[in-house]
Amino acid sequence: MSGADKDDKPSGMRKGLTSYGDAGFSLFLRKAFIKGMGYTDEALDRPIIGIVDTGSGFNACHGNMAELVEAAKRGIMLAGALPVAFPTISVHESFSNPTSMFLRNLMSMDTEEMIRAQPMDAVVMIGGCDKTVPAQLMGAGSAGLPAIQLVTGPMLTGSHRGQKVGACTDCRRFWAAYRAGEVDDQEIADVNDQLVPGTGTCGVMGTASTMAMVTEALGMMLPGGSTAPAVSADRRRIAEQTGKIAVQMAAQNLTPDKIMTRAAFKNALTVLLAIGGSTNGLIHLSAIAGRMGIQIDLAEFDAIGRNIPVLVDLKPSGQHYMQDLHAAGGLVTVLRELRPYLDLDCLTVTGRTLGEEIDAAPASFAQDIVTPRDKPIYHQGGMAVLTGNLAPGGAIIKQSAASPDLMVHRGRAVVFTSIEDMAARVDHPDLDVTKDDILVLQNAGPKGAPGMPEAGYMPIPRKIAAQGVKDMVRISDARMSGTASGTIVLHVTPESAQGGPLGLVRDGDEIELDVTARKITLHVDEAELDQRRKDFVAPDHVGSDRGYKKLFLDSVLQADGGCDFDFLQPTSIRSNAGYGSKS
Ligand code: FES
């Protein structure tokens, strides 16, 4: 290998030399240092495939990282290239204050800049936990180098007193039962030992599973690569094969812009709806598409959802777990059902089209996890887009995980002005609330919280939960974990902290939700709203005058812009941004 590709551009160790003003010296010095780790000139003359290692002592979802790096290295070397692993930051849901979403863009910048700064001809990115995969795809899309996504894979289920349990739908179910007094202190301690029985990402159709599957549908992952459990031999074989494909991608210069096209994003959105995927998936796909200069049209997304039913019987919309979906054939079983709705000509990382990959997949067989289109789990797509005077820029509801009797509902607002306010008052015996009221949470959006935390799954007030009430209509500008369920309106845009109408709601106002008509309406007259608008004061955040928090608050876009930073999107779409623009 000469160290130059067919266009005579430098490749391998000769790429992106450090600037010393003398290219020969820069290469001499670089090789001298890497030889300190025992490499030969023969090894250093090979194409280089980077491997993004996001292992961390705080990230149990990535607990199999070392084995996957090793397997990917094996595949890269079998294909004749040199693997070089390197770290980036790692973000775990439960170990990120204030919220992992606050750090996603930082991880995407780290990924982009490390891919760009270091010499590699292609890159294998290993992520898994919710925000890591979108961060890596955003970074790779901007870096423009051939890139392939590998995920750590879902965890297996645990067992608690004879019932199968798994993070995190069952975490929420048991906690809600504990709050309602149905589960005692001993049982909540016992189940805490069983909910995450091993390494891997959440084993239901949460954000991690959703992002893995939409990434495969997008074409950025090895076909069949999204569902294998973290601890399985399949997962290691996928890693080895991913390494081999990365070498091929480097030779073909198969860059992300050739795969992540507008049509590929439509395929990904179609799959997102059909799997009953996490609402976070829409925000992340908006951010990834934004990096490619593509805007996701919420109206088009809603229109797709009217034709695409939910086909996958996984929690929280259904009954089963990711290991069951893998045993049922994985994503290709879903893709076969969706075939008439997909653009089969989209390219994948293999260099073949999505249609060719579906044809080449192992034959289908009888199973009961993915339903036929005429017997769906839910008759429409998992999500619906709402608009109205309460959400001029749109809002989302995961209708497949909502209560049918609350889909059309009018009620009195019970308002919490912040997450802290909610935590302080929601369980107070004097809270003026009934089961027919609508809980409203303000200032929990991208700027308001900040970081748009997963606070949209507001707890049912304890005195209402004690009556056996499991669901109420809840509305916020926050996000919700993909593992949660309920009649919960999210991502209200523009957010309250940016002067959106959600911030103008007061206790006792009437709100009307009509999912069938895709409407969300605040029944307060305009003159009164104008008056309240004059009194609006944006929330202040401690520590917002410096560092990453300042960058975040100055630059973050609204939900319809994927909560990316404005300066990370290509200039071509910045001027078109609607509520996605920061102000
Ligand atoms: Fe990592 Fe759920 S906490 S995937």
Asked if the model's pLDDT at residue 577 lies above 60, the reply is no
* pLDDT one-digit tens code per residue, 361-413: 999 999 999 999 999 999 998 999 999 999 999 999 999 889 999 999 999 99
13 Cβ below 6 A of ligand 1: no
Question: What's the pLDDT tens digit per position in 254-293?
Answer: 999 999 999 999 999 999 999 999 999 999 999 999 999 9
SS3 label, residue 488: strand
Q: Which residue's alpha carbon is nearest to atom 2 within ligand 1?
A: 202
**Closest ligand 1 atom, CA of 208?**
4
Give the list of residues 6+ apart from residue 195 with CB closer than 8 angstroms, or none. 158, 160, 165, 166, 167, 168, 170, 171, 174
CA 450 to chain centroid: 18
Distance CA 565, CA 568 (A): 5
Q: Is the pLDDT of residue 582 over 80?
A: no
> Ligand 1 centroid vs 281 CA: distance in angstroms?
14
Kindly indicate whether the domain formed by 46-156+198-360 is annotated with CATH number 3.40.50.2300: yes
3-state secondary structure (DSSP) of residue 67: helix
Which pLDDT score is estimated for 476? Answer: 98
Based on its alpha-carbon atoms, the radius of gyration of the chain, rounded to whole angstroms, reads: 24
Q: What is the pLDDT of residue 6?
A: 52
pLDDT value at 551 more than 50? yes
- Please report which confidence band the pLDDT of residue 2 belongs to, taking 50, 70 and 90 as the band edges: very low
Distance from chain centroid for Cα 203 = 15
pLDDT band at residue 239 using 50, 70 and 90 as cut-offs: very high
For the CA of 201, the closest atom of ligand 1 is 4
The closest of 147, 328, 110, 360 to 254, measured between CA atoms, is 147
Nearest to 558 by CA among 395, 442, 369, 403: 395
Task: Tell me the best of 93, 205, 227 to mutate to test the pocket of ligand 1, counting ligand atoms within 8 Å of each CB and taking the most.
Answer: 93
What pLDDT does 76 receive?
Answer: 98
User: By the 8 A CB rule, do 454 and 208 touch?
Assistant: no
- pLDDT value of position 179: 85
Helix (H) or strand (E) holding 291: helix 280-291
Separation of 271 CA from ligand 1 center, angstroms? 20
pLDDT single digits (tens) 459-493: 999 999 999 999 999 999 999 988 788 999 999 99
pLDDT of residue 539: 86
User: For the CA atoms of 61, 67, 68, 72, what is the dihedral angle to 10 degrees?
Assistant: 170
- Calculate how far, in angstroms, residue 505's C-alpha sits from the geometric centre of ligand 1: 33
For ligand 1, the distance from its centroid to the CA atom of residue 206, given in whole angstroms, is: 8
Scanning 36-168, the segments in alpha helix (DSSP H) are 41-44, 65-78, 100-117, 132-143
HEC per residue, 140-197: HHHHCCCEEEEECCECCCEEECCEEECCCHHHHHHHHHHHCCCCCHHHHHHHHCCCCC
288 in ligand 1 pocket by Cβ < 6 Å? Answer: no
DSSP string, 401-469: GS-GGGSEEEEEEEEESSHHHHHHHTT-TT----TTSEEEE-S-STTTTTS--S--SPPPPHHHHTTT-
Residues 6+ apart with CB under 8 A from 117: 16
Q: Report whether pLDDT(578) > 60.
A: no
3-state secondary structure of 477: coil
| pLDDT attached to residue 579 | 59
Average pLDDT over residues 81-97: 97
With a cut of 50, say whether residue 583 has pLDDT above it. no
Grade residue 3 by pLDDT with cuts at 50, 70 and 90: low
Nearest C-alpha neighbor of 180 from the set 575, 540, 459, 551 = 459
> Is residue 415 pLDDT above 80, yes or no?
yes
Q: What is the dihedral of CA 414, 420, 423, 425, to 10 degrees?
A: -50
The string of DSSP codes covering 216-254 is HHHT-B-TT-SSS-TTSHHHHHHHHHHHHHHHHHHHHT-
pLDDT at 5: 53
At 211-236, the pLDDT tens digits run: 999 999 999 999 999 999 999 999 99
d(CA 346, CA 216): 12
Asked: is 384-539 a CATH 3.50.30.80 domain? The reply is yes
Structure tokens at 300: 């088009």
- Is pLDDT at 580 greater than 70 in this prediction? no
For the CA of 206, the nearest atom of ligand 1: 2
Percent of the chain with pLDDT over 70: 97
- Reported as a single tens digit per residue, the pLDDT across 489-516 is 999 999 999 999 999 999 999 999 999 9
Q: What are phi and psi of 11, to 5 degrees?
A: -135, 175
**Dist CA 264 CA 219 (whole Å):** 7
Distances (CA, A) of 205 to 168, 365, 400: 9, 22, 12
Residue 536: what are its φ and ψ, rounded to 5°?
-65, 135
Q: Hey, where are the domains in the chain?
A: 1-45, 46-156+198-360, 158-192, 384-539
Residue 540 predicted with pLDDT over 90:
no
Q: Mean pLDDT for the chain?
A: 94
- Residue whose pair of structure tokens reads 């290295």 in the numeric block: 73
pTM (two decimals):
0.95
Q: Which of 201, 209, 213, 227 to mutate to test the pocket of ligand 1 (most atoms within 8 A of CB)?
A: 201
For the segment 10-36, the average pLDDT, to the nearest whole number, is 95
Q: What is the pLDDT of residues 48-71, one digit of tens each?
A: 999 999 999 999 999 999 999 999
Whether ligand 1 lies within 6 angstroms of the CB of 59 is answered as no
Is 61's C-beta closer than 6 angstroms to any atom of ligand 1? Answer: yes
In short, whether 155's Cβ falls inside 6 Å of ligand 1 is no
Give me the pLDDT at residue 1, please.
39
